[in-house]
Amino acid sequence: MILIVWITMSMASYGQRRDTLFTEYRIDEFLFHEKPAKVVFPNREPNGEWIWRARFWGHEPQTDKALLDKGFHLVYIDVADLFGNQEAVQLWNDFYTYCRDKYTLKKKVVLEGMSRGGLIVYNWAAQNTDKVACIYADAPVCDIKSWPGGLYTSKGSMEAWKTCLDAYGLDDKSVLTFKGIPLCTSTKVAEANIPVLHVYGDSDQVVPYEENTGKLKDLFEAAGGTIQIISKKGVGHHPHSLKDPKPIVDFILENSPHEK
């Protein structure tokens, strides 16, 4: 009851800033633990299945809308500046419980991680393997030393790098041996036999394949996991997704739960 009252108050403080990207759907918008959150409802009878977007709300929404039209809910909470750290994982734990209870959603959720969204998707999934149906990651950051660190070939981001190090309580030395990144945490996902799909642009210089998805793929398969890869020829970091999202949607539908 306390949680419900707190969220109701937060919704009032969030004001009238309404989403303009999913106007054809009903949307709940509110603050959850002081973070902007959204839940989009399907126009047809909901089936209890849901997809959880981790980053770039509304960017290339064709996969999200295709799943909404199949009865999925779409959920989001903004933890971008936490870079997938343990605080972000705990926020996701709380939001997961809230969404399941309030919207009667199934135990297993589809995770969608674009760019830095890959950090929270893998770090949360590694600690909640029994709650994940599958993962769709799009040009995901798999190693903070690549982006935002820029310690290899990525141009990185100095401002984001400082925020990232602060979020984890790291410095330029301790980050070099830090294991709380998808390259390491994804092995738990592989061991749990969670299906994974990565989509990437082969000209991405922001989150280069070789430093991120390429390394994760090798480690993931070595841990016994199965990962599908879709490469976009001549495409950089943006745009994410595919013009025709059918391969992504088919992957998700094939690996969606069929029970509560």
What pLDDT band is residue 18 in, cutting at 50, 70 and 90?
low
The percentage of the chain sitting over the pLDDT mark of 70, rounded to a whole number, equals: 92
Residue with tokens 């969608």: 112
Q: Is the peptide bond between 245 and the residue preceding it cis, with omega within 30 degrees of 0? A: no
Residue in 159, 157, 146, 132 with CA at minimum distance from that of residue 212? 146
Q: Is the pLDDT of residue 245 over 60?
A: yes
Q: Which amino acid is at 59?
A: H
19 pLDDT band (50/70/90 cuts)? Answer: confident
**37 DSSP 8-state letter:** E
Please give the pLDDT value at position 7: 38
3-state secondary structure of 34: coil
Average pLDDT over residues 36-59: 96
Q: Is residue 2 scored above 80 in pLDDT?
A: no
Q: What is the mean pLDDT of residues 134-153?
A: 98
Which of 10-24, 41-55, 68-82, 144-158 is predicted least confidently?
10-24
Mean pLDDT value of segment 122-142:
98
| pLDDT tens-digit series, residues 179-190 | 999 999 999 999
- List the beta strands (DSSP E) in the chain: 27-32, 35-40, 50-53, 73-77, 109-114, 132-138, 196-201, 227-232
From CA 248, how far away is CA 242, in angstroms rounded?
8
Name the 3-class secondary structure at 142.
Answer: coil
